[in-house]
Amino acid sequence: MNYSSLEECLLDLEKHGHLVRIKEEVDPYLEMAAIHLKVYEAGGPTLLFENVKGSRFRAASNIFGSLERSKFMFRDTFEIVQKIIELKSDPVKAIKEPIKNFKVGLAALHALPLKNPVVKPVLDQEINISDLPLIQHWPMDGGAFVTLPQVYTEDYDKPGIMNANLGMYRIQLTGNDYASNKEIGLHYQLHRGIGVHQTKADRAGVPLKVSCFVGGPPSHSLSAVMPLPEGISEMTFAGLIGGRRFRYTYRDGFCISTDADFVITGEVNAGETKPEGPFGDHLGYYSLQHPFPLMKVHKVYAKKNAIWPFTVVGRPPQEDTSFGELIHELTGGAIRQEIPGLKEVHAVDAAGVHPLLLAIGSERYTPYMPAKQPAELLTIANHILGTGQLSLAKFLFITADDTDHLSTHNIPEFFAFMLERIDLKRDIHFYTNTTIDTLDYSGSSLNSGSKVVFAAYGEIIRTLCKEVPQQLLELHHFKNSVLVMPGVVVMQTSTFTTYEHATFEMQQLDQQLMVHADALQSVPIIIVADSSEFTGKNLRNFLWVTFTRCNPANDIYGVGSFVKNKHWGCNGPLIIDARIKPHHAPPVETDSTVEKNIERLFNKGGSLYGVLR
């Protein structure tokens, strides 16, 4: 379906059994988010809130709640867009098969944005920020946020929509020190196109004009999160995947998406910031309060019957997981064309995406050498860590599989393959004092931390343990050892206090394990956690705890560790300290009172009765 509006999409979802209307009045303070989380976890439908307390506007969530529903919304264009991306990677195909690719050429006509001089419904009325559904998602959030915004900015040096940027950067509408209805917060992170635009505007001494579109066809939301190469307009992708040209106009010098449900316009001046946050984010923790750009509101527009789309992020998986899955299916092998030798890469959602990357590459540098060891893999790893948002990765595990049977998406099998082959003396490579994801608080300060690459290739050098070795059950101060997967054991000790004390604790562990180093070759990785029971309970917990709570250069130790020519290695098991540190952000947790309050919707007679069954 080539939707012209969000409402048209929602009606189509309802017609096919993908939507439920909630008629009861629901509080935007925590209740709407709690309902969304409950329905998403149950694999439930899109939700249309028809009676939002304190606002005359309706709201919708869980629109992209599953990969199947996301593909259903783009069922008329999905395969064609896949083909276009494939042809961009291999344009010779278009020449060889011109008739077969004729439809692709026709679809590409939708890519050109259409300037619309006619006044459209989004300009029907001017409203205030306070008229919007002011949704607060988590108890410690700093206020209400826009969680599905499409933030539009233009390049000062190359103005116009074809060089514009459309990104999904969170917007804080209320709270903190923001002047009500006059100021809002604009939070964007490293490696985002808007940062380039603000830098150019600042140098020119002019305010950066910002338009925040909310709603409109679902293709617009998808385009705002699509990782397009720099210089390619997201509006062209919106036209392709939506099967409908992106329509726009200008009002008071601000770009207006004429198909949007709401548009907030404003300006960001150089050096003007205010505290933004906290906000319960997609790593499963709060991103804390920090100074971020201040957007001075110019005007707020809305359709008369506008619908406010929102999502809720928290410990993964959540609805934004479907965005990632959809993008992966669309882009297919495009990443392999961008990084020579790379066969597959997987940003692990359960670990918060950026903290953990798994990759499979090629190893072709020295086929004449009898010994197999990482060579090309290290080149590929450096390329990965220098490419767009992949550069935010904190842990990168990379290997080569000559049989092409291994997949990064079978995580236990991938780890087993790596750990059977990794040489702990040779195959660990640290990047210290570098940038990490803005939302990752495992480092010492905002955006600052370290990275580590594990690059393994060659013959199997160990058999992985399938039960906890006896030696790990008899340790002093380290207890409750649990096998997470073959070769990986988690244990717990006292609460983390300081790095000085942690170093002492790890020295104690090293002394106890060093005498058993040979016997423990079957355990290449030991995790130290606050709760071994929780961490070892399932794969999801292991991935979340281990890779979100560790700053590699600070929190990785090793039995019999050494430094030779500035290269770090160890003779026995690698030890990862995945305890919560005092500087970490707190994890998000739901409010028990709110959980009880929303049960009325799920009980007999409520709009959501039977949805969880």
pLDDT tens readout for residues 322-343: 888 888 888 766 667 778 899 9
Predicted TM-score (pTM) of the model is 0.91
Span of 80-89, 126-135, 491-500 with lowest mean pLDDT: 80-89
Structure tokens at 393: 């990765």
Q: What is the pLDDT of residue 368?
A: 65
CA angle, corner 320, sides to 239 and 552, nearest 5? 125
**Contact assessment for residue 561 and residue 423, using Cβ atoms and an 8 Å cutoff:** no
Backbone angles phi, psi at 81, to 5 degrees: -65, -40
**Contact assessment for residue 275 and residue 263, using Cβ atoms and an 8 Å cutoff:** no
15-60 pLDDT, tens per residue? 999 999 999 999 999 999 999 999 999 999 999 999 999 999 999 9
CATH of the domain spanning 470-577: 3.40.1670
Intrachain domains 320-456 and 470-577 with the same fold: yes
Q: What is the pLDDT of residue 96?
A: 43
168-198 pLDDT, tens per residue? 999 999 999 999 999 999 998 755 678 889 9
**Contact assessment for residue 561 and residue 576, using Cβ atoms and an 8 Å cutoff:** no
Q: pLDDT over 90 for what percent of the chain?
A: 79
DSSP designation for 468: -
Helix (H) or strand (E) holding 127: strand 125-127
Q: What is the pLDDT of residue 1?
A: 77
Q: Which amino acid is at 103?
A: K
Beta carbons within 8 Å of 456's beta carbon, 6+ residues apart: 374, 397, 398, 399, 418, 419, 421, 422, 423, 427
CATH of the domain spanning 320-456: 3.40.1670.10
Q: In whole angstroms, give the CA distance from residue 243 to residue 77.
A: 6
Q: Rounded mean pLDDT of 95-113?
A: 61
Q: pLDDT over 70 for what percent of the chain?
A: 93
Beta carbons within 8 Å of 162's beta carbon, 6+ residues apart: 113, 233, 235, 236
> How high does pLDDT run on average in the chain?
91
So where are the chain's domains?
A: 6-310, 320-456, 470-577
270-297 pLDDT, tens per residue? 999 999 999 999 999 999 999 999 999 9
Q: What is the pLDDT of residue 409?
A: 94
Q: Rounded mean pLDDT of 127-147?
A: 98
**Contact assessment for residue 33 and residue 187, using Cβ atoms and an 8 Å cutoff:** no
**Contact assessment for residue 469 and residue 475, using Cβ atoms and an 8 Å cutoff:** no
Q: What is the pLDDT of residue 229?
A: 63
Q: What is the pLDDT of residue 98?
A: 45
Pairing of strands 290-302, 125-127: antiparallel
Pick 389 or 240 by higher pLDDT: 240
Q: What is the pLDDT of residue 51?
A: 98
195-217 pLDDT, tens per residue? 889 999 999 999 999 999 999 99
582-611 pLDDT, tens per residue? 999 999 999 999 999 999 999 999 999 999
Q: What architecture is the 6-310 domain classified under in CATH?
A: Roll (2.30)
Q: What is the pLDDT of residue 279?
A: 96
**Contact assessment for residue 547 and residue 394, using Cβ atoms and an 8 Å cutoff:** yes
pLDDT higher than threshold 70 for residue 89:
no
